[in-house]
Amino acid sequence: MSVSDENIIKISGLVKRYGDVTAVNGISLSVGKGEVFGLLGPNGAGKTTTLECLEGMRRSDGGTLELGGCDPQADESRLRRILGVQLQSSSLPEGLRPGEAMSLICAWHGLPARLDLLERFGLTGQNRKQYRELSEGQKRRLHLALALACDPSVVILDEPTAGLDVQGRAQLHDAIRELKNSGVTILLATHDMAEAESLCDRIAIMIRGRIAVTGSPAQITASGLAETRIIISTKNDCLLPGKDTKNARFLRQTDNYGIWLCSDTAAAVMELLGEVQADKDTVEDLRVERPSLEERFLELVEGGTRS
């Protein structure tokens, strides 16, 4: 399912204060229909507060919000019909069973119990278990299944994979991809850069209540100052001890590997390979590593707000 130009979420100049602390300081962003939009930022950046304002759980102190054509803070009953939410921290009564939870939520939406969702998220076999007996991964999947009970057009996921093991994360990632393929718009807050890179069409990095940068993961990574790394190991170590060349700056030696930093990757690789050839040596291993989203994130967080 492709991303439409039509914006289904619009945030303009959102401000939220807690006493003297401004948690969200005039942010604006929009999310297209069918898009997976990631909200990244360090702890206390204002991600969850932003999401809670959109979810109708908190009143904003300024700015406007629109989700699927309705004001989340004024039209709650309509909001609940078009929005599914998986909160960062939430729970269900300990004695509640997955089937009962689904039946309960569907009843309040005026729908028959969506047991198909429990099957889709691998929870059918857990139907005799009470909530307290489910694993963390099963609980997360149950909350996601419940968030989808009303067939929402927008889903907000606040750190959905926090605390999950590798298998649990992979299962949830598959579920999120399935949702994207079915045309659901997803707003995802996460600390996990790999998750954001692999799932999101666009991301925004929030720092101290403001949006520092918005774009696709590739655009954001490319907009950084970090240079590409070239890592080479040769049979006779002809490049070691390393030195700067015209196009590459020598960083360090690790075992038999020399590591260079460069901006013009092609020129630097050609130059280093030329030296290897001139010394009649042979390349055993050559790796080119582009700066990661994580490095760009750290650059932004440690370097302050940049656009």
Partner 1 sequence: MSKFIKAFSRHLWIQFKMDIRERGTLLTYYLLPLVFYFIVGSVFVSINPASKQTLAFSMTIFAVTMGAVLGMPAPVVKMSESEVLRAYKVCGIPGWATLLVHAVSAFLHLSIVSLVILLTAPVVFGAGIPTNYASYFAVLFILLFCNIAIGLLIGVSAKNQSAATLLSQAVFLPTVMLGGIMFPASMLPGALRTLGYLIPATYAMQSFSGYAFGLPIGVDAALSLMVLTLIGIAAAILVVLKSKAVKTE
Summarize as ranges the residues that interact with partner 1 (CB under 8 A): 55, 57-59, 80-81, 83, 85, 87, 89-96, 100, 103-105, 107-110, 130, 143, 146-147, 149-150
In the complex with partner 1, which residue's Cβ is closer, 74 or 107?
107
CB of 107 to partner 1, least distance (A): 4
Give phi and psi for 26, each to the nearest 5.
Answer: 75, 40
Task: Kindly state the tokens that stand for 12.
Answer: 């303009």
In the complex with partner 1, which residue's Cβ is closer, 108 or 277?
108
Task: Kindly state the tokens that stand for 282.
Answer: 């042979």
127 vs 98: CA distance, rounded Å:
6
In the complex with partner 1, which residue's Cβ is closer, 54 or 300?
54
In angstroms, the Cα distances linking 14 to 44, 231, 255 are 16, 45, 51
In the complex with partner 1, which residue's Cβ is closer, 133 or 174?
133
In the complex with partner 1, which residue's Cβ is closer, 81 or 229?
81
CB of 111 to partner 1, least distance (A): 10
CB of 141 to partner 1, least distance (A): 14
**The CA-based dihedral angle spanning residues 136, 138, 144, 145, taken in that order and rounded to the nearest 10 degrees:** -160
147 vs 138: CA distance, rounded Å:
14
Evaluated on CA atoms 154, 189, 7, 35, the torsion sign reads negative
End-to-end Cα separation, the chain, in angstroms: 30
CB of 171 to partner 1, least distance (A): 20
CB of 180 to partner 1, least distance (A): 21
